[in-house]
Amino acid sequence: MLESYGEIIFLSHFMLVYMASVNYDCPMACECDIDDETVNLSCRRTIPDTLPLNTRVVSITDIEYEYLQQSDFNNARWENVTKLYLRGGSVNSVFSDTFWNVSNLTHLQISFPNLKKISVNAFGQLTKLKTLDLSGNFLISFDVVADALRVNEFTNNLDELNLHSLAMFLTPSELKETFFLQLQRFSIKRLDLSQSNFKKLDLIALSYLGSSLEELRMVGVDLASLMSFFYMPLRHTCFQICSFST
C-alpha cells in the first residue's frame, strides 16, 4: 500500500518535471528560468542547439570548445536573445562572423582565461550592441581588441566597453594611439581600463574620446602622471575603488 503510494508520488513528480521540460523545451545542459513572457538560460560546457521560445538572456559557463565560430550559433533560433554571457572554459579563439545569427544582442560578455585570438570582424554583425564586456581575458592585448573592433557594420550604439584585467601577464606597455583611433568611431560613453598593466597612456590619444566619453575607470593602473586628466570634461573618472551603474 505504502509502496504504491510512494510510486504514485514519484510518478506524478516525474510527470510534472517531464511536462515542464516538454512545455519549455529546456536544453539538456541548461537550467531555464521562466516567467510569463521570457526565458533566461544558464548552461554549462556547451552552446545549446535549441532554445525555448522567447529566450532573452543566455549565460554559458565553462565552454569546452577550442574556438567559437558561426556554426556554433547556427542551429537554435537566437532572434530574441539580447544578452549573451560567455565565461570560462577552454576557448582560445573567436572567429570572424561568430555572432552572425545572434545579431540582436545588446549585451555581450566574453571572458575566457585561455583566449588568445579574436578575429577581425568577430563582432561584425552586432549593430545593436550597447555593451561589450571583454574583461578577464588575461592573455588578450589592447592591440587584439583594436583589431577586433575594426568592423564596418558596427554602428555607434556601443556605449560601454569593459576591458578590465586585459593582458595581465604581458610585459607592461604603452596604450597606443591606434587603439583610441579605433574606439573614436563608436562614441563610447563608459570605458573600463582597470587592472591592466600598461604604464604609459597617450593623453592626446585619449582625448579623441573626449566628446562622448563620460566615465573612465582605471582602478589599479599604475601611471606615471595623472595630471592631464583634470583637463578632460569627464563626468566621472575613477582611479580607486568605485563602481559605475551600467
Ligand X SMILES: *[C@@H]1O[C@H](CO)[C@@H](O)[C@H](O)[C@H]1NC(C)=O
Which residues are at the interface with ligand X (CB under 6 A)? 33-35, 38, 40, 53-55, 57, 74, 77-80, 83, 100-101, 103-104
Torsion of CA 114, 141, 234, 151, to 10 degrees: -90
Q: How many CB atoms lie within 10 A of CB 136?
A: 21
Q: What is the closest distance, in whole angstroms, from the C-beta atom of residue 86 to ligand X in the complex?
A: 15
Give every CB contact of residue 23 below 8 A, 6+ residues apart in sequence: none
Least separation in angstroms between CB 41 and ligand X: 9
C-alpha–C-alpha distance, residues 189 and 210, integer Å = 9
CB 132 within 8 A of CB 159: no
Q: Which is nearer to ligand X, 57 or 234 (CB)?
A: 57
Question: Cβ closer to ligand X: 126 or 218?
Answer: 126
Q: Which is nearer to ligand X, 66 or 79 (CB)?
A: 79
Closest approach, Cβ 70 to ligand X, in A, equals 7
Q: Cell 505504502 identifies what position? A: 2
Question: Could you tell me the smallest distance in angstroms from the CB atom of residue 244 to ligand X?
Answer: 18
What's the closest the beta carbon of residue 132 comes to ligand X, in angstroms?
A: 16
By C-beta, is 34 or 170 nearer to ligand X?
A: 34
CA angle 102, 104, 108 (to 5 degrees): 70
Q: Nearer Cβ to ligand X, position 103 or 141?
A: 103
Q: Cβ 110 to ligand X, closest distance in Å?
A: 17
How far apart are the C-alpha atoms of 188 and 35, rounded to whole Å? 33
Q: Which amino acid is at 218?
A: M
Cell of 121: 570582424
- Cα–Cα distance between 36 and 126 in angstroms, integer? 28
